[in-house]
Structure 1
Amino acid sequence: MLCFSLLLNSQTIKVACVGDSVTFGAGIEDREENSYPQQLQERLGANYKVENFGFSGATLLKNGHKPYWKTAEFRQSQDFLPNIVIIHLGLNDQGNNNWPDHQDDFEQDYLEMIARYKNLSSKPEVMICKMTPTFSGHHWFEEGMRESFKDIQAKIERVAKKAEVQIIDLHEPLYRFPEYFPDNLHPTKEGAKVIADKVYAAITGDYGGLILPVLYGENMVLQRNEPINFNGTANADETITVLFNKVSKTVNADVHGKWQVTFPAMKAGGPFALKFATAKTSVEIKSVYLGEVWLASGQSNMDFKVREMDNAATVLKDSLNPQVFLFSMDGKVLSDKPYTEDELNDCNADAYFKNSGWTASTTENLNDFSAVAYAFAYQLQKHLGVPIGIINNAVGGAPIQSWISRESMEQHPETVSLLNDTHLHPKVDTWVAERAALNMREVSKIGVRARHPYHPTMLFDAGMMPIRDYKIKGVIWYQGESNTEHVNLHSKLFKLLVADWRSHFKNPELPFYYVQLSSIHRTNWGEFRNSQRLLLEIPNTGMAVSLDVGHASDVHPKHKWVVGERLSKIALHKTYAVEIPFSGPLLDFVNVNKNRLEVHFKHGQGLKILGNTSVNDIYIAGPDRKFVPAQSKIVNDVLQVWSPEIETPRFVRYGYTSFSNGNLVNSANLPASTFSNSIN
């Protein structure tokens, strides 16, 4: 309100940018033009006068190693008699030469600085900033200062409440753009622009007017039987009216431009009309459905298109379903050549995905949609009889680490290493590392700040952050081909991924159903499939076996309908309590009976052998773990295995050959998983 009154009186509004090297613009080429205060000046225009009072290395702490209090810039910022003061301090306070001894002084020192500015004769409005990121590659992070950084951020929030000043979050937008921080601490001019935009919005209240999340649009499906939260951004304090299914609710955007309104849970149905309106604009959505919403993600086998699958013509003719609604988030850039400048410009968290909007399942729309995801959604709709919304954001070749948030990756030394060294890292699968290096070969020559889609956290930032507030019922996941060289690391990353997504979707029990890799003549695939079986220890997960529909040389087998159907059986049973068989035989335990092993299974009712009189791809070993082919027979759903070469058998393997012809199934003809009781 101060800004508007001054403008009405035709007075120039003076803005003092107080801070450390980030405010000063250290490391930015042509700092005088590209530092955030100068970019802020350009955004605010002639009615404002913005001055940069940043001092490199400054601490907020009076007893810090370089207190801002003692600088000429502090005196000059007060002499400037500003109308608005923007304070961004704290980064240098996290240092081990400051925080351990003086952390208890931080809040009081900050409150005193705010008071010093507020007591100026110009009576300025003071705004304080949550710190810009210190990324894990910076030596401060590796010297154990991460907890200090978090502590300072929390104290800044408390200071804002105590002093009753507005807080500007500079951390969250920039945390998704590590490419803007070449030294992991100081932003480039692109990062400075993000800061300038945030400060501009805080000063003016201009957040771009009414903006709705990416998943809002015609034919959108909302999760039934759950409170319905609509949210978005608008200008500060702007009134938004939401009219849904003839019920109207009104809410005001907060000082940060954010708003949310909640409608009570509804049963499945639709179409319903939905309208968002402010005094200046409105958005009408004529058809909104209530039903079940699922996310399909992973890499190329999840992204594999309906038109490319086996029996595609039949599916596109006979399996269309007008109650299944599709949303595609397609990666814009995938290539086996060095990326061009235009492609590099799309390699960031804001631009990487091209979104289709919601479409009904017509032949035209279905052609280029995920075959596995559609088969899954089709079967759900067929059994549940309600609208199904299926969102697909899978990316070909993507390793699992690209789908995990930086918050989670920074918690573990092994994953921090992946974050800090993205060039040909030895724990990144060879093909993935080499493809990323090839694609990014010209980046320094072209001069674009970009991040490869296969780099850790990139696809999370680009593909998960924009949808994490949209309520979903569960996740189906088909990925792993790009992580088979490092089996144990993948298992750790998978557990991290599931916990991470459950945290961001605010649902600790979010169903997470995944596909076990198929068969192919490639090293490690049997071991990898067994490691995926063991991941079923994670609560509320399920695994669809696909080794029987693999291909000897093609990493993209075409029998996708059966894979989606198997995932649907898991969801129908575990999520919707439909009494149907949903799993093939899974190893339960092994008994030793003289010179034989007796293998017991979960879901082994009606255990049988397909197409042969003996079990294929079955091996046993003694204590030395030297495996030999085994003979076998089934007795009362128990598999007995033996070999004349093994007098004291201890260990068994099934389906461990990378391209397996395993033929064990249960009475529902669902295939047994690769398994072994020998874990080295």
Structure 2
Amino acid sequence: MTTKQFFVSLAALVLPLMGQAKVRLPHLVSDGMVLQQQSEARLWGWDQPGKTVRVSVSWSSDVYTVRTARDGKWQVKVKTPRAGYTPLSVTFDDGEKTTINGLLSGEVWVCAGQSNMEFPVRGFGNCPLKDYNEVVSTASDVRGIHFVKIPSVMRTKPQDDADCQWKTVDVNTVEDCSAVGYFFARKVSSVANVPVGLILANKGGSRVESWLDADNLKKYTQEELDSGKMVKKFPYDYLRPLLWGNGTFHPILNYTVKGILYYQGCSNVGAPGNEYSDRLKLLVEQWRRDFGEGEIPFYFVQIAPYIYGDGADGISGALLREQQERAASIIPNSALVCTNDLVYPWERNQIHPCQKQPVGERLAFLALNRNYGFKSIKCESPVYKSMFVEGDTCYVSIDKTYGGISRYDDIEGFEVAGADKIFHRAVAGHFWVAGQDRRNETIFVTSPEVKQPKYVRYCFRNFELGNLKNCANLPLMPFRTDKDE
């Protein structure tokens, strides 16, 4: 090779590198993004090692300076303004400027889990959304709701970027948004008058183990992490551990968020003992650690009635719901919404029930009450408190009723059993207790087939629809009194 040929070859190598010297941003940091309001929001990217990057913002005169590390990575925190609908911009300057536009300051929530969270407004095949046309045709009436869908991909190593794009909700885009996420955002935005950003990082069919990182899987589970053995054990890729967290969730962990919404559990039906609740707690601790924002809210959804492998009258799904209630009790700053009333009788074999609006709105009621100061919004379902037996009748005390229940007669979903633990359908109704604390209500439960009742269950089967609600029209959580016997 001549000297001239050498320098020509060298230039061919160097010039592309020089062209890459400009700041490179992750897809998530881009036009239309929503910044968490009144926070120190993280922005990050890549550049040449040792390069100085200056970050200026349209809402203040502040300029932030950061120097890239040896691997070319950089990260900076910027102070964000109060929520508002005025478009904002951020400029990154390393000698050549890059500007992102159309930003809003608002509230950022992650929509995580499996297919009932992934379920878009357009629905899935043979799984429509209730009132689809009404939802779509009114979407342009809302303002300031932006969303970004993280592609559902598997990776053996944690990923720092994902090919995604922020979208603004309108009549043409809303069908791509998570239905549960959209209804949550619509309610929060309208009541709190703030823009809402949704980061959709989920995968249909995924297990809780799909999102745990390698360290947690190795320390707390017996999950197989060798790729070949994993594929052999789980022919269906959506059941595989680790990979979805690496590919679909890890790219968002630098983002500054308000909280996490989670709808998952169907693929963990059948898990033994307290395995599911313990692992869900572990996952929440992992995510909170990685987001670095403390104990951010974690609001999640109870799996809906469905005929699992042990049939409509089986209890494998009921046991998972019970684990979800346990998880809510052991995970700080968390809450569970009940969906027992949001399935139609003809959806017995439908894993994706069509009523998604109440699910998203119940999550929003939690956020509005607990995080945005709207204490008049009631957000908790009634729960079992205690029971006593007199003769052939059980008297069940219900807590968190907000002063009353939805019906006095024709209450459905209760069963009773004697010492043999064979449960029979029961008649239930309101029972007045003189001097009773109005925060509680008492229900009488009786069955002509059980002369000496000992145990009560409510909707504790895979597919059992109840109709008892509190004054906020929120359904009674399924329960059983024979758990520890």
Which residue pairs with 1:331 in the alignment? 152
After TM superposition, the score normalised by the length of structure 1 is: 0.61
CA gap 1:469/1:46 in 2 versus in 1, 3 angstroms: closer
> Does the residue aligned with 2:106 lie in a helix, a strand or coil?
strand
How many angstroms apart in 2 are the aligned matches of 1:353 and 1:242? 20
Which residue pairs with 1:599 in the alignment? 396
> Does the residue aligned with 1:547 lie in a helix, a strand or coil?
coil
How many angstroms apart in 1 are the aligned matches of 2:412 and 2:134? 32
Q: 1:542 aligns with which of 318, 335, 340?
A: 335
Whether the aligned pair in 2 keeps the contact of 1:491 and 1:532 (CA below 8 Å) is yes
Which has the larger share of helix?
Answer: 1
Deviations 1:534-576 (CA, angstroms, capped at 9, x unpaired): 2220221111211222221111111111111111111111222
- Is residue 243 from structure 1 mapped to residue 56 from structure 2 by the alignment? yes
**Displacement of 1:623 after TM fit?**
4.1
- Is residue 322 from structure 1 mapped to residue 114 from structure 2 by the alignment? no
CA gap 1:598/1:363 in 2 versus in 1, 3 angstroms: same
Q: After the TM superposition, which residues 23-62 of structure 1 pair with which residues of structure 2 at under 5 Å, given as runs?
A: none
Which residue pairs with 2:445 in the alignment? 641
Q: 1:295 aligns with which of 107, 110, 115?
A: 110
Which residue pairs with 1:554 in the alignment? 350
How many angstroms apart in 1 are the aligned matches of 2:358 and 2:114? 18
Deviations 1:38-92 (CA, angstroms, capped at 9, x unpaired): xxxxx9x999xxxxxxxxxxxxxxxxxxxxxxxxxxxxxxxxxxxxxxxxxxxxx
Whether the aligned pair in 2 keeps the contact of 1:598 and 1:641 (CA below 8 Å) is yes
Identity %: 28
Which residue pairs with 2:101 in the alignment? 286
Root-mean-square deviation (CA), in Å? 3.0
Q: After the TM superposition, which residues 471-510 of structure 1 pair with which residues of structure 2 at under 5 Å, given as runs?
A: 471-486=256-271, 488=273, 489-510=275-296
Q: 1:381 aligns with which of 173, 189, 201?
A: 189
**Displacement of 1:454 after TM fit?**
3.3
CA gap 1:239/1:643 in 2 versus in 1, 3 angstroms: same
- Is residue 435 from structure 1 mapped to residue 250 from structure 2 by the alignment? no
Q: 1:225 aligns with which of 38, 42, 48?
A: 38
- Is residue 272 from structure 1 mapped to residue 88 from structure 2 by the alignment? yes
Which residue pairs with 1:196 in the alignment? none
Q: 1:660 aligns with which of 453, 461, 464?
A: 464
**Displacement of 1:487 after TM fit?**
5.0
> Does the residue aligned with 2:173 lie in a helix, a strand or coil?
helix
CA gap 1:485/1:606 in 2 versus in 1, 3 angstroms: same
- Gap runs ≥5 in structure 1: 1-42, 48-203, 333-345, 426-432, 437-452
CA gap 1:675/1:207 in 2 versus in 1, 3 angstroms: farther
How many angstroms apart in 1 are the aligned matches of 2:387 and 2:372? 32
CA gap 1:215/1:331 in 2 versus in 1, 3 angstroms: same
- Residue type of the partner of 2:477? S
- Gap runs ≥5 in structure 2: 1-9, 124-128, 311-315, 433-440
- Residue type of the partner of 1:435? Y
> Does the residue aligned with 1:211 lie in a helix, a strand or coil?
coil
Deviations 1:576-600 (CA, angstroms, capped at 9, x unpaired): 2312111221223334455543322
Which residue pairs with 1:410 in the alignment? 218
Which residue pairs with 2:131 in the alignment? 311
Whether the aligned pair in 1 keeps the contact of 2:27 and 2:164 (CA below 8 Å) is no
**Displacement of 1:423 after TM fit?**
4.7
Which one has a bigger Cα radius of gyration?
1
Whether the aligned pair in 2 keeps the contact of 1:207 and 1:233 (CA below 8 Å) is no
How many angstroms apart in 2 are the aligned matches of 1:286 and 1:508? 29
Q: After the TM superposition, which residues 171-190 of structure 1 pair with which residues of structure 2 at under 5 Å, given as runs?
A: none
**Displacement of 1:527 after TM fit?**
2.3
> Does the residue aligned with 2:239 lie in a helix, a strand or coil?
coil
Which residue pairs with 1:168 in the alignment? none
Which residue pairs with 1:528 in the alignment? 320
Deviations 1:433-486 (CA, angstroms, capped at 9, x unpaired): 3423xxxxxxxxxxxxxxxx5321111111222111111111111111111122
**Displacement of 1:208 after TM fit?**
6.5
- Residue type of the partner of 1:495? K
**Displacement of 1:650 after TM fit?**
3.5
**Displacement of 1:499 after TM fit?**
1.4
- Residue type of the partner of 1:605? Y
How many angstroms apart in 2 are the aligned matches of 1:548 and 1:651? 23
Deviations 1:584-622 (CA, angstroms, capped at 9, x unpaired): 212233344555433223322354356x93322211233
Whether the aligned pair in 1 keeps the contact of 2:263 and 2:302 (CA below 8 Å) is yes
How many angstroms apart in 2 are the aligned matches of 1:300 and 1:640? 38
Which residue pairs with 1:419 in the alignment? 225
How many angstroms apart in 1 are the aligned matches of 2:472 and 2:13? 74
Which residue pairs with 1:511 in the alignment? 297
- Residue type of the partner of 2:400? H
- Is residue 616 from structure 1 mapped to residue 436 from structure 2 by the alignment? no
Which residue pairs with 1:255 in the alignment? 70
Deviations 1:302-346 (CA, angstroms, capped at 9, x unpaired): 1111122111110111243221011111326xxxxxxxxxxxxx7
- Residue type of the partner of 1:211? R
How many angstroms apart in 2 are the aligned matches of 1:678 and 1:395? 35
CA gap 1:263/1:348 in 2 versus in 1, 3 angstroms: same
- Residue type of the partner of 2:192? L
- Residue type of the partner of 1:656? F
Which residue pairs with 2:178 in the alignment? 370
How many angstroms apart in 2 are the aligned matches of 1:400 and 1:654? 26
